[in-house]
Amino acid sequence: MEKQNLKELIKQGFAAMKAGSKVAAEATSEIQNDVKNEQLKSALQQGNEQSKVWAQRIDRGLEEAGGNADQDNEILKAHYQVSKKIRQQAADDNTRDLGIIASGQMSLHYWIAAFGTQASYAAAAGLNQAQQEMQACLDEAKQADEKHTQIAKSILSA
66: left (phi over 0), alpha (psi -120 to 50) or beta: left
Residue 57 has pLDDT above 90, yes or no: yes
> What is the DSSP track for 56-89?
HHHHHHHHHHT-------HHHHHHHHHHHHHHHH
Is the whole-model pTM more than 0.85? Answer: yes
Distance CA 27, CA 79 (A): 9
The model's confidence at residue 104, banded by pLDDT at 50, 70 and 90, is very high
Question: For the residues 24-37, what does the mean pLDDT come to?
Answer: 87
Say which DSSP state 140 is in: H
Question: For the residues 17-45, what does the mean pLDDT come to?
Answer: 90
- 105-151 tens-digit pLDDT: 999 999 999 999 999 999 999 999 999 999 999 999 999 999 999 99
